[in-house]
Amino acid sequence: MAKPIVVSLAGKGYSFSPIKVDRAKIYGIKKRAALDSQGRFCTRAALSSDGTHLVLAGMSAQGYFRQDGHLVGRQEMVGIDPNGKLVEQIPSTLGVTQALEGPVDASEILSLDIESLYFLEPIEECGELTAKLQAGEIYQFPINYSAGLEMEMGYLIANDEGCFSIVGKPAQMQWIESATLFESVEATEDADDLDFESM
């Protein structure tokens, strides 16, 4: 079981057990299966590019290699910023109290690049916070479900079904303004008139 999401507001702490919400949990899932003439499930496979090997699921993978051909393990990889400096890994925030900020405007969620959605099961009584959320207030807090190179932002919301956290990063949008200028031209007597009836 994952560690809880712990937040605080006005000096009071609240703990929630996060349950990830995905399309399968909302809409259910259907799977199309291929069967042979005897009703047995077929296994998907592919031929190697030279046509000599049959590649089954789980037999191929991606990796990073040094110039000498040796595989680079994940534990050896580090983050580098645009200036070439080492980026420190940010630890998970689960189980660590995060201060809530807000209430914030709902428009902040509209500019969020959403990564995940969690249903928050209260571990202890959260009546005061729940009442604020169900009244339409929205609070934000930093969250990292697992250790990574970037901190994400979570937004606490609620409806009749319970409390939720929408998690993501602010979208980096660049607006481009474009204008076209039209020069006014006076009509002349010999200008060709379009006859729409002939079209």
Q: What is the pLDDT of residue 73?
A: 85
Q: What is the mean pLDDT of residues 67-81?
A: 84
Q: What is the mean pLDDT of residues 105-122?
A: 90
139 vs 44: CA distance, rounded Å: 46
CA angle 177–183–187, rounded 5-degree value = 145
For residue 116, give the nearest of 171, 155, 173, 158 by alpha carbon.
Answer: 155
* Entry pTM: 0.66
Conformational region of residue 130, where left means phi above 0, alpha means psi within -120 to 50, and beta covers everything else: alpha
Q: What is the mean pLDDT of residues 148-168?
A: 91
Contact 143, 155 (CB under 8 A): no
What average pLDDT does the chain have? 84
99 vs 119: CA distance, rounded Å: 19
Compute the CA torsion angle 21, 135, 125, 154 (nearest 10 deg).
40
Please write the tens of the pLDDT for every residue from 12-64: 999 999 999 988 877 888 888 889 899 899 888 888 889 888 888 888 888 88
Q: What is the pLDDT of residue 195?
A: 56
Q: What is the mean pLDDT of residues 94-121?
A: 91
110 vs 17: CA distance, rounded Å: 25
